Chains A and B, each alone.
Chain A
């Protein structure tokens, strides 16, 4: 049987989907992830901003595709066999996040996530809940609430 301390620690652990964007590692809260899909060319919507390359449907539900790399000001690379669409749902907002690669599902403790470094660009900082270290590499944790808020603002 676990003691109270162990129960508290477990309560602080959350799962995150680790993805590659450009050459950087980002973590998406697992609780919001509904599905990971292979890349498929979305239906382009004329007049939509570049950050939204189109729409996809999955099981009868329509998702706008969001190019996270553009949101974060990262380098764009053509889609490959590793490119994935991560279907997420945050509150009532559904979206398909375009990522270069899905790495792993990892547990992180809340305490291990620290505020983003001050040196990071404001464009990125506003979308991050914080950063942590995963196997020696910096892992930036996305704040989906901030992402949705930013997408609702003028792009």
Chain B
């Protein structure tokens, strides 16, 4: 499975490439307001949703477009670096999974001696579109 390496604050996450329809470097003046079907795009900063305080603006600002059945959500992150293909995605331990506030992680990966969480961007986008976060 190909995973995007996503940086938010000083943390690194991974996310399946298949969850993302479009990746772009976003400039404030270039942000489109509607999707291809003319529906308003929903923009959301991923960092604060994961509990990070908004600090200085990053050098780059990447936008991950996730298309759902009825809405299109654009998730803003500090940057997306590269695609990786780890050997195995481990499920989160059941003990922790059941206590998470939101089921936003599909698992964890041990990659280059780091333990990285794998984000479920479609689930996150769905919660944003439904207005539950």
Flag if B117 contacts A62 (CB, 8 Å).
Answer: no
With A55-B108, A57-B110, A57-B115 known as contacts, the answer to whether A47 contacts B93 (CB < 8 A) is no
The answer to whether A152 and B95 touch across the interface, beta carbons within 8 angstroms, is: yes
Q: How far is the CB of B14 from chain A (nearest CB, A)?
A: 12
Report Cα–Cα, A46/B11, bound state, in Å. 11
Question: B99 contacts which of A44, A46, A49, A60 (Cβ < 8 Å)?
Answer: A49
A118 interfacial by beta-carbon distance below 8 Å = no
In the bound complex, residues from chain B placing their C-beta under 8 Å from that of A126 are none
Over the window 99-125 of chain B, the binary record of Cβ atoms lying under 8 Å from chain A Cβ atoms (1 yes, 0 no) is 111101100101000111100000000
Q: Is B36 an interface residue (CB 8 A)?
A: no
For residue B92, CB closer than 8 A to chain A, the reply is yes
Please indicate the chain A residues that have their CB under 8 angstroms from the CB of B104 in the complex.
46-47
Chain A residue with Cβ nearest B49? A46
A94 engages B100 (CB within 8 Å) = no
Task: Enumerate chain A residues within 8 angstroms of B116, measured Cβ to Cβ.
Answer: 43
B100 touches A55 (CB 8 A): no
Once A43-B117, A45-B117, A46-B50 are accepted as A-B contacts, the answer to whether A62 and B93 lie under 8 Å apart by CB is yes
Binary B-proximity of A41-54 (CB < 8 A = 1, otherwise 0): 01111111100100
**Total chain B interface residues with beta-carbon distance under 8 A:** 22
Total residues of chain A contacting the partner, CB 8 A: 24
Tell me, yes or no, whether A86 is within 8 Å of chain B by CB: no
The residues of A that contact B105 with a CB separation of less than 8 Å are 45
* List of A residues within 8 angstroms of B94 by Cβ: 93
Interface members, chain A 55-110 (any B CB < 8 Å): 55-57, 60, 62-64, 93-95
Q: Does B96 contact A (CB under 8 A)?
A: yes
A134 within 8 A of B: no
Chain A min CB distance to B68 (Å): 21
In Å, the complex CA distance between A130 and B116 comes to: 39
On A, residues with C-beta under 8 Å from B are: 42-49, 52, 55-57, 60, 62-64, 93-95, 148, 151-152, 154-155
Task: Give the 5 A-B residue pairs with the shortest CB-CB distance, closest first.
Answer: A47-B101, A46-B50, A64-B96, A43-B115, A64-B93
